[in-house]
Structure 1
Amino acid sequence: MPHQAASGVLIAGTSSDAGKSLVVTGLCRALARRGINVAPFKAQNMSNNSMVCADGSEIGRAQHLQAQAAGAEPTSAMNPVLLKPGSDRRSFVVLRGKPYGTLEAGQYATGRAALAEAAFAAYQELAAAHDLVICEGAGSPAEINLRTGDYVNLGLARRFKLPMIIVGDIDRGGVFASLYGTYALLDDADRATLRGYVINKFRGDQSILQPGLEMLTERTGLVGLGVLPWLPNVWLDAEDTLEVGAWRSSPRASGDRDRLRVAVVRLPRVSNITDVEALAAEPGVDVLVTTDPRVVADADLVVLPGTRTTVSDLTWLRETEIAEAVMGRASQGRPVLGICGGYQLLAREIDDKLESGDGATSGLGLLPIHVTFSDDKVLGRPVGSWRGHPVAAYEIHHGVAEPIDGTDAEQFLDGWRSRQTWGTMWHGTLENDDFRRAWLTEVAAASGSDWRPRQDAPAFAERRETMITTMADAVEEHLDLDRLLSWTTARPTKPNFWRKTPAAGGFRTKTPPKGGTGARSEDQAGSGGDA
C-alpha cells in the first residue's frame, strides 16, 4: 500500500547521542541549499543548555543551531516543550519559551497531555509556514515503557503520518542489533511509520558493512539511506555532553608557558556549559572539565559555569573541597570566572526561597554581591562592552545579583570583578572574539602564562558555520536525499541562500540567514542558578 506524502520527516535514534541533532542540522542546511523552506522541530527536549530567541522565548540550544542551519529565525515553535532537570526526580517545564511549572518523575509517562497538545499545535504552525519540517526525536522510539503519552517520537509520527528514519551510532558497537531491535520492539501500527535507517560515525571501508546492510534491509524492509563518516571536528553546540571532542586536551607540560590551562568545574546540575566552547576553540587554550580540586588549584583559569541549583551545588563545592581550592586561588589573585549560576556561587549572600527553600545562605564570599531568587525569570539578549570591546550576550536566570553597599570592586559587563575574580550573569560573552581574546590576554598575564592570541585564528562564529557546512556536505555526499524527499510533499520554493565554492571544496553563505547572527543563550531557570 503506497504511503501518503508528509509535510515533515522524523529523525529518531536507537539511543540518546546517536547523532540525531547532527543529522537534523546537516539535513536543514543541505535541503535549504536546494531551495526548500525548512524548519527544525523537536516536540520535547530535555536539556539544561538553552538559548534565547529574538522574541525573548527560550528553546533548546540544538534547535537554535538547527534554525541557523536552515536559514530560519529561531522561534518557540521549534522546541515547544523544554524540560530542564532540577533533580533526579523533577524537571522544570518551559512551554513555548516561558516557565510553565514542574514535572515530577512519576508524571513523566502519564502527565503530559497538555504538553502534547501544545507540541502538536506548534508542529502544525511550522508546517503551515514551511515546505518541510525536519523533526528530531528524543532518546529512542523503542522505549516501550514510555510509549503511552509519547508525543516526540512515535506519537508525533502517528499523529502527522511522518516517515521515521532511525539513526544508529556504529562507533559504540552493536549498530545492527540496535537498529533491528528498535524495529522488532514496535507493534505493527508503530512499525509502519519506519521507512529507513542511517548509520552514523563510521570509520573505515564501507564495503565491510555491505553484507550487514543488505541483511538488515531484507529482514526489516527498511531503506538504507546511507552511511555517514566519522567527523572528528564536528561538535555542534552540545546539549548535555560535557566533554566535547574539541575540549579533550592533554595537560600542559611543565614549563610549557605558551599555553593556557582552563579548568571548568563540572557542577552536579551544570547548565549552559557550552559557554566555554569558545575557549576550547581558541588556539593554545586547553580546556578540561573536572571535579578534581587539585586540577582547579593548578589551572591558569578556573570557570564556574551555570547551574540549575545554586545552593545545592554550593554545598557540593564545599563537600568536594573545590570551594577551598577556588577561595585559595582568589586569595592569591589567580583568575576565577563565574558565569550566571557560577557568578551567584561567588556571592557573599544568597537568598533562595524559591528552589532550595533554604532562605539566606552564605556564598563563597569572593564578590561583593547579594543574590535574591524570585519567581520572575529574566530572559533577554543584552549588549554591552568591556574596555572598548563590544559584547553581545543572552541571559536566563531567576537569581538577581545586587552589589553590597561600599564595594570597591570594578564593574565587569553586568557583574563585578575583584582582583582576578570575575563574575557576570551573561551567557555567550566568550563568543565575542575581540572581547574573549583581550580578556584572556589579561588572564594569561595574571597567571604567569606567555599565551597570546593568534591573529590568524578563525572567528568563533566562522568555526560554527564551518561545522554546519561540514555536516551538510557529508549529508549530501553520503545520504540519499532524493529518496528521503520522495516521502514528503517538499518542493523548492525559495532562493538558494548558499552556493558551492569549488576552490574551497565546500559551501559558503551568500546571504546571511536570519537565524545566523545575534547572541546565543545557554542558561536555565529555576531557583538555583541559571533559569
Structure 2
Amino acid sequence: MLSERGAAPALLVAGTTSDAGKSVVTAGLCRWLARQGVRVAPFKAQNMSLNSVVTPDGAEIGRAQAMQAAACGIEPTAAMNPVLLKPGSDRSSQVVVRGRPVGEADALTYRSYKERLREVSLEALAELRASHDVVLCEGAGSPAEINLRAGDIANMGLARAADLPVLVVGDIDRGGVFAALHGTLALLEPADQALVAGFVVNKFRGARELLEPGLDMIRSLTGRDVYGVLPWLDGLWLDVEDSLALSVDRGPSRPPLGSQTLRVAVVRLPRISNFTDIDALTVEPGVDVRFVTAPHEVADADLVILPGSRATVADLAWLRERGLADALVERAGRGLPLLGICGGYQMLARGIDDEVESRAGRVEGLGLLPTRVDFAVEKTLGRPVGTAYGNPVRAYEIHHGVVHVDPSADTEPFLDGHRLGAVWGTTWHGALENDGFRRAFLREVAARAGRDFACAPDTDFAAERSRRLDALGDLVEEHMDTAALLRLLEDGAPGGMPVVPPGGP
C-alpha cells in the first residue's frame, strides 16, 4: 500500500481539545488495521506528557505511543514519538529528542528548537512510512490553537508538510461538540482546511436518532462527512497520556474474594509522572484505588503510594505544605504500608542533593528510608529485569536521581531499591504489571494492614490490556465507516474541500 510519492499512506487524527479521544481513536484504528494484516505504526510528532516509557532501543517516548504500538502488535521505537516535552513547572519543560533529553526550554526559548525539531519529526515520519504499510499520526491538543500555528509541528504544520488527510475528533460528552467541530475547522487557514477530510464524534451516549439532525447539519455547514460516532464505554483505556484523564476514584471493578476491600491511596502530586504504574492495581478484584491530595485521605488507607514526579523537590515541598508529609511519617511510625516509586522513592530519603532538576541543592527528605539522593546530569533510561518475592519482574526506569543506601543500615533489598519495615522504595516503573509479583506484594500489604483480602489467582494484566485494545478495534469496526477510511488512506488528502469562514458559510 503505497501513495503516489512511494511512501506508505498516513493519516492525522486531530482533536478539538486535549482529552477529546485522539489517543484512543488512534489506538482503535491501529488495532483494526493490524487485525487485517496491515503493517501499521503509530506516530506523534510532539507529545507533552509526564507519562513515558523506555523502548527496547533505550529511548524515552510517550506512554500512549507505546500502547498504540502494542495495538499494532509491534515494539515501540524512538521514531514513533521523536519529540517529547516533560513539564517541570508551569513555564519550562525538558525537551526529549529521539528518546534522549537535550535540554530545558520555556515557551520562548523553545522557539529556537522548532526548525530542528520539525526536521527531526519529518525524518521520523518518513522512516516509519518507508518500513510500514500505514502510519497513523496523532495530533497534540487542538489544531485550532491559532497562537501556536506558525511553529506547529504536531498538527496542521505536520499535515501540510507531509500532505496528510486529517480527521478531527470531538468529545460530545463535554457538550458543544458541533460548535467545537465547526469552530475548529473555521479557525484554520484555507490551506489547512483543505486537508480536513471529516469528523469523528466520540463518547456518545443516548439515542442515535436524536443526534442525526446535528450530524446532517455539520455535514451541510462544512461540506465534510462524519466518519463515525463512537459510543461511550467506561474503562476502555489504560495508559492515559496526562492527568486531565486521571480519575480521582478508580475503584474495584469486581468484588473482593475475601471479606474486605484493600484500600490504596495514591498521592496525586502536582507534577505526578508515570501514574500508569497504578493501572495494574485498578484491574485487581477488590482493590479500591483512589487518588488523594489531603492528609485525612491517607489515614485509613491500607497502602499509600508515592508515585513518580517530574519535580521531586517541588512536590516534596507540596507534601509538607499540605500536611501530607507529616501524615505519611505518622503512618510509617505505625507500621502501615507505604510504597515510593521513582520520584516518590527519592522523597523517602534522609536527604536530596539536586543541582540538576530543581537546582535547590541540599534538601531534607522524609527520612523514612536510610538513603540519600544525588541528581545526575545524565538521565538513566533502561528496561531492567529482576526478581522479588520469588517472582520475575520486568520494568523500566527513567530518572536523574541516584539513590544511595547507608551501608550500615539494616534494610532489605526490594527490586532495585530498599525496604525498611513497611516502607518500600524502587525506581522501577511498571513492576506492578508483573502478575506474580503484584499478587505477592498485595498479600503482604494486606497482612500488614490486617485485612482479610485474597488476591484473584487469575488476573492477567497483559491479557486485560490486550482485551481493551481489541475492544477499541471493535469500536472502529462497528461504529466507523471503515470503507471510507480505507479510501481516505488510499487516495490521500481530499481535493476541492470547501472553505468555511470564521463567521460561517
TM-score bracket, shorter-length normalisation: over 0.9
Residue 343 of structure 2 corresponds to which residue in structure 1?
Answer: 341
Separation of aligned partners in 2, 1:55 and 1:455: 33
- Secondary structure, in 3 states, of the residue corresponding to 1:356? coil
Residue 473 of structure 1 corresponds to which residue in structure 2?
Answer: 474
Matched, 1:75 2:58: no
TM-score (normalizing by structure 1): 0.88
2:64 alignment partner, one of 56, 62, 65: 62
Residue 48 of structure 1 corresponds to which residue in structure 2?
Answer: 50
Separation of aligned partners in 1, 2:171 and 2:205: 11
Matched, 1:165 2:163: no
Q: Is the 8 A contact 2:55 2:61 kept in 1?
A: yes
- Give the Å deviation of 1:245: 5.2
> Counterparts in 2 of 1:174-213, with a 5 A limit?
174-213=176-215
Gap change, CA 1:246 and 1:58, over 3 Å in 2: same
Separation of aligned partners in 2, 1:24 and 1:246: 25
Residue 487 of structure 1 corresponds to which residue in structure 2?
Answer: 488
Residue 276 of structure 1 corresponds to which residue in structure 2?
Answer: 278
Separation of aligned partners in 1, 2:414 and 2:273: 22
Separation of aligned partners in 2, 1:381 and 1:287: 26
Q: Is the 8 A contact 2:310 2:343 kept in 1?
A: yes
Residue 384 of structure 1 corresponds to which residue in structure 2?
Answer: 386
Q: Is the 8 A contact 1:379 1:395 kept in 2?
A: yes
Separation of aligned partners in 2, 1:173 and 1:158: 30
Q: Is the 8 A contact 1:157 1:193 kept in 2?
A: yes
Residue 311 of structure 2 corresponds to which residue in structure 1?
Answer: 309
Q: Residue deviations 1:135-189, cap 9 Å, x none? A: 0000111111110011110011111111000000000000001000011111111
Residue 214 of structure 1 corresponds to which residue in structure 2?
Answer: 216
- Give the Å deviation of 1:111: 4.5
Residue 430 of structure 2 corresponds to which residue in structure 1?
Answer: 428
> Counterparts in 2 of 1:217-236, with a 5 A limit?
217-236=219-238
Q: Is the 8 A contact 2:15 2:141 kept in 1?
A: yes
Q: Is the 8 A contact 2:389 2:441 kept in 1?
A: no
* Structure 2: runs of 5+ lacking an equivalent: 253-257, 493-505
Separation of aligned partners in 1, 2:235 and 2:50: 23
- Secondary structure, in 3 states, of the residue corresponding to 2:88? strand
- Give the Å deviation of 1:241: 2.6
Residue 364 of structure 2 corresponds to which residue in structure 1?
Answer: 362
Q: Residue deviations 1:394-422, cap 9 Å, x none? A: 00001111111201011111111111000
- Give the Å deviation of 1:455: 2.0
AA partner of residue 240 (structure 1): D
> Counterparts in 2 of 1:259-338, with a 5 A limit?
259-338=261-340
- Secondary structure, in 3 states, of the residue corresponding to 1:17? coil
Structure number with the bigger relative contact order (C-alpha 8 A, sep ≥ 6) is 1
Separation of aligned partners in 1, 2:468 and 2:31: 11
Gap change, CA 1:164 and 1:201, over 3 Å in 2: same
- Give the Å deviation of 1:367: 0.5
The 10-residue stretch of structure 1 (239-248 or 37-46) with the greater mean CA deviation from structure 2: 239-248
Q: Is the 8 A contact 1:12 1:20 kept in 2?
A: yes
- Give the Å deviation of 1:488: 2.2
Separation of aligned partners in 2, 1:154 and 1:336: 46
- Give the Å deviation of 1:36: 1.4
Q: Is the 8 A contact 1:83 1:93 kept in 2?
A: yes
AA partner of residue 463 (structure 1): E
Residue 417 of structure 2 corresponds to which residue in structure 1?
Answer: 415
Q: Is the 8 A contact 2:238 2:279 kept in 1?
A: no
AA partner of residue 475 (structure 2): A
Gap change, CA 1:212 and 1:108, over 3 Å in 2: farther
- Give the Å deviation of 1:243: 6.0
Q: Is the 8 A contact 1:132 1:490 kept in 2?
A: no
Residue 95 of structure 1 corresponds to which residue in structure 2?
Answer: 97
Q: Is the 8 A contact 2:251 2:282 kept in 1?
A: no
Q: Is the 8 A contact 2:31 2:470 kept in 1?
A: yes
The 10-residue stretch of structure 1 (419-428 or 358-367) with the greater mean CA deviation from structure 2: 358-367
Structure 1 residue ranges (4+ consecutive) displaced by more than 4 angstroms after TM superposition = 3-6, 108-111, 242-247
- Give the Å deviation of 1:7: 2.0
Q: Is the 8 A contact 1:109 1:148 kept in 2?
A: no
Separation of aligned partners in 2, 1:230 and 1:48: 26
- Secondary structure, in 3 states, of the residue corresponding to 1:438? helix
- Secondary structure, in 3 states, of the residue corresponding to 1:488? helix
- Give the Å deviation of 1:103: 1.8
- Secondary structure, in 3 states, of the residue corresponding to 2:13? strand
Residue 9 of structure 1 corresponds to which residue in structure 2?
Answer: 11
- Secondary structure, in 3 states, of the residue corresponding to 2:401? strand
- Give the Å deviation of 1:28: 0.3
Separation of aligned partners in 1, 2:42 and 2:326: 44
Q: Is the 8 A contact 1:233 1:246 kept in 2?
A: no
Root-mean-square deviation over aligned CA pairs: 1.9
Q: Is the 8 A contact 2:82 2:124 kept in 1?
A: yes
TM-score (normalizing by structure 2): 0.93
Aligned residue pair count: 484
- Give the Å deviation of 1:233: 2.5
Separation of aligned partners in 2, 1:321 and 1:74: 40
Gap change, CA 1:257 and 1:332, over 3 Å in 2: farther
Q: Residue deviations 1:406-451, cap 9 Å, x none? A: 0101111111111100000101000001110111011011011111
Matched, 1:137 2:145: no
- Secondary structure, in 3 states, of the residue corresponding to 1:209? helix
The 10-residue stretch of structure 1 (413-422 or 237-246) with the greater mean CA deviation from structure 2: 237-246
Separation of aligned partners in 1, 2:245 and 2:325: 22
- Secondary structure, in 3 states, of the residue corresponding to 1:258? coil
AA partner of residue 220 (structure 1): T
* Structure 1: runs of 5+ lacking an equivalent: 251-255, 492-531
- Give the Å deviation of 1:247: 4.2
1:447 alignment partner, one of 446, 449, 457: 449
